[in-house]
Amino acid sequence: EKNHNVIFENSIEASKVVAQEIAELIRSKQVKNKTCVLGLATGSSPIKVYEELVRMHKEEDLSFHNVVSFNLDEYYPMTKENRQSYHYFMHQYLFNHIDIKPENVNIPDGTVAIEDLNQYCVDYELKIKEAGGLDFQLLGIGRTGHVGFNEPGSHINSGTRIITLDHITRVDASSDFNGIDNVPTRAITMGVSTILRSKRIVLMAWGQNKAAIIKRTIQGEITSEVPATFLQNHSNATFVLDQFSASEL
Ligand code: GLP
Protein backbone atom coordinates (compact mmCIF):
# COMPACT_ATOMS: atom_id res chain seq x y z
CA GLU A 1 0.00 0.00 0.00
CA LYS A 2 1.54 3.22 -1.08
CA ASN A 3 0.95 6.45 -2.84
CA HIS A 4 1.62 6.19 -6.55
CA ASN A 5 0.57 7.15 -10.07
CA VAL A 6 -0.71 4.85 -12.76
CA ILE A 7 -0.74 6.09 -16.34
CA PHE A 8 -3.04 4.52 -18.92
CA GLU A 9 -3.24 4.97 -22.64
CA ASN A 10 -6.80 6.23 -22.35
CA SER A 11 -9.56 6.90 -19.87
CA ILE A 12 -11.63 3.90 -20.97
CA GLU A 13 -8.94 1.42 -19.94
CA ALA A 14 -8.25 3.38 -16.76
CA SER A 15 -11.91 3.54 -15.77
CA LYS A 16 -12.28 -0.23 -16.15
CA VAL A 17 -9.41 -0.81 -13.73
CA VAL A 18 -10.89 1.61 -11.18
CA ALA A 19 -14.35 0.03 -11.50
CA GLN A 20 -12.78 -3.41 -11.05
CA GLU A 21 -11.12 -2.30 -7.81
CA ILE A 22 -14.43 -0.94 -6.50
CA ALA A 23 -16.25 -4.15 -7.47
CA GLU A 24 -13.64 -6.28 -5.72
CA LEU A 25 -13.92 -4.16 -2.58
CA ILE A 26 -17.72 -4.48 -2.57
CA ARG A 27 -17.51 -8.26 -3.04
CA SER A 28 -14.79 -8.70 -0.41
CA LYS A 29 -17.05 -6.94 2.10
CA GLN A 30 -20.05 -9.03 1.03
CA VAL A 31 -18.36 -12.32 1.87
CA LYS A 32 -17.72 -10.94 5.36
CA ASN A 33 -21.28 -9.64 5.65
CA LYS A 34 -20.00 -6.11 6.00
CA THR A 35 -21.11 -2.84 4.50
CA CYS A 36 -18.88 -1.13 1.96
CA VAL A 37 -18.73 2.65 2.41
CA LEU A 38 -18.01 4.46 -0.84
CA GLY A 39 -17.23 8.13 -1.27
CA LEU A 40 -18.44 9.14 -4.72
CA ALA A 41 -17.69 12.01 -7.07
CA THR A 42 -19.41 13.81 -9.91
CA GLY A 43 -18.06 15.61 -12.98
CA SER A 44 -17.10 14.05 -16.30
CA SER A 45 -14.14 12.08 -14.93
CA PRO A 46 -16.02 9.27 -13.11
CA ILE A 47 -18.74 8.71 -15.72
CA LYS A 48 -17.02 5.73 -17.38
CA VAL A 49 -16.40 4.15 -13.98
CA TYR A 50 -20.11 4.36 -13.21
CA GLU A 51 -20.99 2.94 -16.64
CA GLU A 52 -18.68 0.01 -16.00
CA LEU A 53 -20.17 -0.61 -12.54
CA VAL A 54 -23.66 -0.60 -14.06
CA ARG A 55 -22.48 -3.09 -16.68
CA MET A 56 -21.05 -5.34 -13.96
CA HIS A 57 -24.33 -5.12 -12.08
CA LYS A 58 -26.29 -6.17 -15.17
CA GLU A 59 -23.91 -8.72 -16.65
CA GLU A 60 -21.82 -10.01 -13.75
CA ASP A 61 -24.25 -10.06 -10.82
CA LEU A 62 -22.43 -7.32 -8.96
CA SER A 63 -24.79 -6.32 -6.16
CA PHE A 64 -24.72 -3.06 -4.25
CA HIS A 65 -27.02 -4.23 -1.44
CA ASN A 66 -24.24 -3.79 1.12
CA VAL A 67 -23.06 -0.42 -0.20
CA VAL A 68 -23.49 2.86 1.66
CA SER A 69 -22.52 5.89 -0.41
CA PHE A 70 -21.59 9.44 0.47
CA ASN A 71 -21.21 11.99 -2.28
CA LEU A 72 -18.57 14.65 -2.00
CA ASP A 73 -20.54 17.74 -2.79
CA GLU A 74 -23.57 19.59 -4.13
CA TYR A 75 -24.18 23.09 -5.37
CA TYR A 76 -25.93 25.45 -2.97
CA PRO A 77 -28.70 26.33 -3.25
CA MET A 78 -29.84 23.52 -5.54
CA THR A 79 -32.99 21.45 -5.85
CA LYS A 80 -32.76 17.70 -6.40
CA GLU A 81 -34.84 17.80 -9.59
CA ASN A 82 -32.58 20.36 -11.27
CA ARG A 83 -30.75 18.78 -14.23
CA GLN A 84 -27.53 20.41 -13.02
CA SER A 85 -27.76 19.00 -9.50
CA TYR A 86 -25.31 16.35 -8.41
CA HIS A 87 -28.33 14.53 -7.01
CA TYR A 88 -29.70 14.26 -10.56
CA PHE A 89 -26.29 13.32 -11.97
CA MET A 90 -25.74 10.43 -9.56
CA HIS A 91 -29.17 8.94 -10.21
CA GLN A 92 -28.80 9.36 -13.96
CA TYR A 93 -25.40 7.66 -14.18
CA LEU A 94 -25.48 5.18 -11.32
CA PHE A 95 -28.18 4.88 -8.69
CA ASN A 96 -31.14 4.41 -11.06
CA HIS A 97 -29.42 1.40 -12.63
CA ILE A 98 -28.17 -0.57 -9.62
CA ASP A 99 -29.66 -2.22 -6.51
CA ILE A 100 -28.27 0.15 -3.88
CA LYS A 101 -30.84 0.77 -1.11
CA PRO A 102 -32.20 4.32 -1.44
CA GLU A 103 -31.76 4.82 2.31
CA ASN A 104 -28.04 4.08 1.90
CA VAL A 105 -27.51 6.92 -0.58
CA ASN A 106 -26.19 10.16 0.90
CA ILE A 107 -25.72 13.32 -1.16
CA PRO A 108 -25.34 16.76 0.42
CA ASP A 109 -28.75 18.42 0.32
CA GLY A 110 -28.72 21.72 -1.55
CA THR A 111 -32.17 22.64 -0.21
CA VAL A 112 -31.28 22.90 3.49
CA ALA A 113 -32.14 26.32 4.92
CA ILE A 114 -29.07 28.50 5.36
CA GLU A 115 -29.60 28.74 9.13
CA ASP A 116 -29.60 24.94 9.40
CA LEU A 117 -26.52 24.35 7.25
CA ASN A 118 -23.87 24.21 9.96
CA GLN A 119 -25.76 21.52 11.85
CA TYR A 120 -26.50 19.71 8.59
CA CYS A 121 -22.77 19.57 7.76
CA VAL A 122 -21.89 18.32 11.27
CA ASP A 123 -24.52 15.61 10.88
CA TYR A 124 -23.19 14.58 7.43
CA GLU A 125 -19.74 14.15 8.95
CA LEU A 126 -21.22 12.13 11.85
CA LYS A 127 -23.15 9.90 9.48
CA ILE A 128 -19.92 8.96 7.67
CA LYS A 129 -18.32 8.13 11.01
CA GLU A 130 -21.31 6.06 12.13
CA ALA A 131 -21.23 4.12 8.85
CA GLY A 132 -17.68 3.09 9.80
CA GLY A 133 -15.78 5.71 7.79
CA LEU A 134 -15.09 5.78 4.07
CA ASP A 135 -13.52 2.58 2.74
CA PHE A 136 -12.88 4.11 -0.67
CA GLN A 137 -13.03 7.67 -2.00
CA LEU A 138 -13.28 8.35 -5.71
CA LEU A 139 -12.06 11.81 -6.77
CA GLY A 140 -11.80 14.02 -9.81
CA ILE A 141 -9.83 17.23 -9.75
CA GLY A 142 -10.76 20.74 -10.78
CA ARG A 143 -8.35 23.04 -12.61
CA THR A 144 -8.02 25.05 -9.38
CA GLY A 145 -6.69 21.94 -7.64
CA HIS A 146 -9.95 21.37 -5.81
CA VAL A 147 -11.04 17.93 -4.68
CA GLY A 148 -14.74 17.82 -3.97
CA PHE A 149 -15.29 21.56 -3.87
CA ASN A 150 -12.35 22.28 -1.57
CA GLU A 151 -11.13 25.35 -3.38
CA PRO A 152 -7.73 27.03 -2.92
CA GLY A 153 -7.44 28.16 0.69
CA SER A 154 -9.10 25.04 2.06
CA HIS A 155 -7.45 23.95 5.31
CA ILE A 156 -6.11 20.41 5.77
CA ASN A 157 -8.35 20.11 8.84
CA SER A 158 -11.51 21.30 7.08
CA GLY A 159 -14.68 19.23 7.45
CA THR A 160 -17.98 19.24 5.58
CA ARG A 161 -19.07 22.85 5.12
CA ILE A 162 -20.43 25.47 2.76
CA ILE A 163 -17.84 27.11 0.53
CA THR A 164 -17.67 29.85 -2.10
CA LEU A 165 -16.78 28.53 -5.55
CA ASP A 166 -13.64 29.77 -7.23
CA HIS A 167 -14.16 31.89 -10.35
CA ILE A 168 -12.29 29.34 -12.52
CA THR A 169 -14.58 26.57 -11.25
CA ARG A 170 -17.63 28.62 -12.19
CA VAL A 171 -16.16 29.30 -15.65
CA ASP A 172 -15.59 25.56 -16.12
CA ALA A 173 -19.19 24.83 -15.07
CA SER A 174 -20.72 27.60 -17.18
CA SER A 175 -21.40 25.42 -20.23
CA ASP A 176 -23.47 23.04 -18.05
CA PHE A 177 -25.46 25.98 -16.73
CA ASN A 178 -25.88 27.92 -19.96
CA GLY A 179 -23.69 30.81 -18.86
CA ILE A 180 -21.64 31.72 -15.81
CA ASP A 181 -24.40 33.90 -14.35
CA ASN A 182 -26.47 30.76 -13.79
CA VAL A 183 -23.71 28.87 -11.97
CA PRO A 184 -24.30 28.88 -8.20
CA THR A 185 -21.72 30.84 -6.23
CA ARG A 186 -21.62 28.35 -3.37
CA ALA A 187 -21.58 24.62 -2.65
CA ILE A 188 -21.65 22.15 0.21
CA THR A 189 -18.56 19.93 0.21
CA MET A 190 -16.90 17.28 2.31
CA GLY A 191 -13.74 18.78 3.77
CA VAL A 192 -10.11 17.95 3.10
CA SER A 193 -9.94 16.06 6.41
CA THR A 194 -13.12 14.13 5.55
CA ILE A 195 -11.48 12.97 2.34
CA LEU A 196 -8.08 12.23 3.89
CA ARG A 197 -9.67 9.95 6.51
CA SER A 198 -10.77 7.56 3.74
CA LYS A 199 -8.86 4.28 3.93
CA ARG A 200 -8.27 4.33 0.18
CA ILE A 201 -8.32 7.21 -2.33
CA VAL A 202 -8.31 7.10 -6.13
CA LEU A 203 -8.05 10.41 -7.99
CA MET A 204 -8.74 10.32 -11.72
CA ALA A 205 -7.78 12.95 -14.28
CA TRP A 206 -8.14 12.82 -18.04
CA GLY A 207 -7.01 15.09 -20.83
CA GLN A 208 -4.50 17.76 -21.59
CA ASN A 209 -6.37 20.49 -19.74
CA LYS A 210 -5.62 18.68 -16.45
CA ALA A 211 -1.87 18.29 -17.17
CA ALA A 212 -0.74 21.47 -15.40
CA ILE A 213 -2.77 20.91 -12.24
CA ILE A 214 -1.74 17.24 -12.14
CA LYS A 215 1.92 18.28 -12.23
CA ARG A 216 1.38 20.72 -9.34
CA THR A 217 -0.69 18.17 -7.41
CA ILE A 218 1.86 15.36 -7.65
CA GLN A 219 5.17 17.21 -7.83
CA GLY A 220 4.43 20.60 -6.26
CA GLU A 221 4.83 21.63 -2.62
CA ILE A 222 2.00 20.66 -0.31
CA THR A 223 -0.14 23.75 0.15
CA SER A 224 -3.73 24.73 0.78
CA GLU A 225 -3.38 26.84 -2.38
CA VAL A 226 -3.66 23.50 -4.22
CA PRO A 227 -5.81 21.39 -1.89
CA ALA A 228 -5.24 18.21 -3.94
CA THR A 229 -1.56 18.34 -2.87
CA PHE A 230 -2.68 17.17 0.60
CA LEU A 231 -3.19 13.75 -0.99
CA GLN A 232 0.61 13.42 -1.24
CA ASN A 233 0.60 12.62 2.47
CA HIS A 234 -2.08 9.94 2.30
CA SER A 235 -0.72 6.42 2.75
CA ASN A 236 -2.99 4.76 0.21
CA ALA A 237 -3.85 7.21 -2.55
CA THR A 238 -3.40 6.54 -6.26
CA PHE A 239 -3.50 9.05 -9.10
CA VAL A 240 -5.02 7.35 -12.12
CA LEU A 241 -4.11 9.29 -15.26
CA ASP A 242 -4.30 9.06 -19.01
CA GLN A 243 -1.30 9.88 -21.19
CA PHE A 244 -2.58 13.43 -21.67
CA SER A 245 -3.10 14.48 -18.04
CA ALA A 246 0.28 12.85 -17.25
CA SER A 247 2.07 14.64 -20.10
CA GLU A 248 3.82 17.23 -17.90
CA LEU A 249 5.11 14.82 -15.25
C1 GLP B 1 -16.57 19.55 -10.10
C2 GLP B 1 -16.71 18.59 -8.94
C3 GLP B 1 -15.40 17.97 -8.58
C4 GLP B 1 -14.77 17.42 -9.83
C5 GLP B 1 -14.48 18.55 -10.79
C6 GLP B 1 -13.78 18.12 -12.06
O7 GLP B 1 -16.09 20.79 -9.71
N8 GLP B 1 -17.28 19.20 -7.76
O9 GLP B 1 -15.60 16.96 -7.60
O10 GLP B 1 -13.61 16.72 -9.53
O11 GLP B 1 -15.71 19.13 -11.13
O12 GLP B 1 -14.73 17.88 -13.07
P13 GLP B 1 -14.45 17.00 -14.34
O14 GLP B 1 -14.34 15.60 -13.85
O15 GLP B 1 -15.66 17.20 -15.18
O16 GLP B 1 -13.22 17.50 -14.95
Q: Which residues lie below 8 Å from residue 3, measured CB to CB, with a gap of 6+?
A: 231, 232, 234, 235, 236, 237, 238
DSSP type of residue 150:
B
CA distance linking residue 64 with residue 26, whole number of Å = 7
Distance 173 CA to ligand 1 centre (A): 9
Active-site residue among 52, 74, 125, 151? 151
ipTM for the complex?
Answer: 0.93
Domains of the chain: 4-242 (3.40.50.1360)
Choose one of 42, 74, 138, 210 to mutate for the ligand 1 pocket test, by most ligand atoms within 8 angstroms of C-beta. 42
Pocket of ligand 1 (CB under 6 A): 41-45, 72-73, 140-142, 148-149, 169
**43 backbone dihedrals φ, ψ, rounded to 5°:** 90, 175
On the question of pLDDT at 43 being above 90, the answer is yes
CA distance linking residue 158 with residue 196, whole number of Å = 10
Choose one of 45, 78, 170, 176 to mutate for the ligand 1 pocket test, by most ligand atoms within 8 angstroms of C-beta. 45
Q: Which ligand 1 atom is at minimum distance from the Cα of 86?
A: 8
Q: Which ligand 1 atom is at minimum distance from the Cα of 44?
A: 15
Q: How do residues 142-160 score in pLDDT, each as one tens digit?
A: 999 999 999 999 999 999 9
Name the residue at shortest CA distance from atom 1 of ligand 1.
Answer: 43
Distance 83 CA to ligand 1 centre (A): 16
Q: How do residues 78-128 score in pLDDT, each as one tens digit?
A: 999 999 999 999 999 999 999 999 999 999 999 999 999 999 999 999 999
Distance 161 CA to ligand 1 centre (A): 17
Q: How do residues 205-230 score in pLDDT, each as one tens digit?
A: 999 999 999 999 999 999 999 999 99
Q: How do residues 117-139 score in pLDDT, each as one tens digit?
A: 999 999 999 999 999 999 999 99
CA distance linking residue 43 with residue 155, whole number of Å = 23
Kindly report each contact of residues 124-129 with a partner whose C-beta sits within 8 Å and lies 24 or more positions away, as own/partner.
Answer: 124/70, 124/160, 124/190, 125/159, 125/160, 125/191, 125/194, 127/70, 128/37, 128/70, 128/194
Q: Which ligand 1 atom is at minimum distance from the Cα of 72?
A: 9
Q: Is 115 a catalytic residue?
A: no
**Confidence band for 2, pLDDT divided at 50, 70 and 90:** low
Query: How many other β-carbons are positioned within 10 Å of the β-carbon of residue 132?
Result: 13
- On average, the pLDDT of the chain sits at 97
Distance 48 CA to ligand 1 centre (A): 14
On the question of pLDDT at 1 being above 50, the answer is no
Name the residue at shortest CA distance from atom 3 of ligand 1.
Answer: 148
- Whole-model pTM: value is 0.97
Contact 18, 51 (CB under 8 A): no
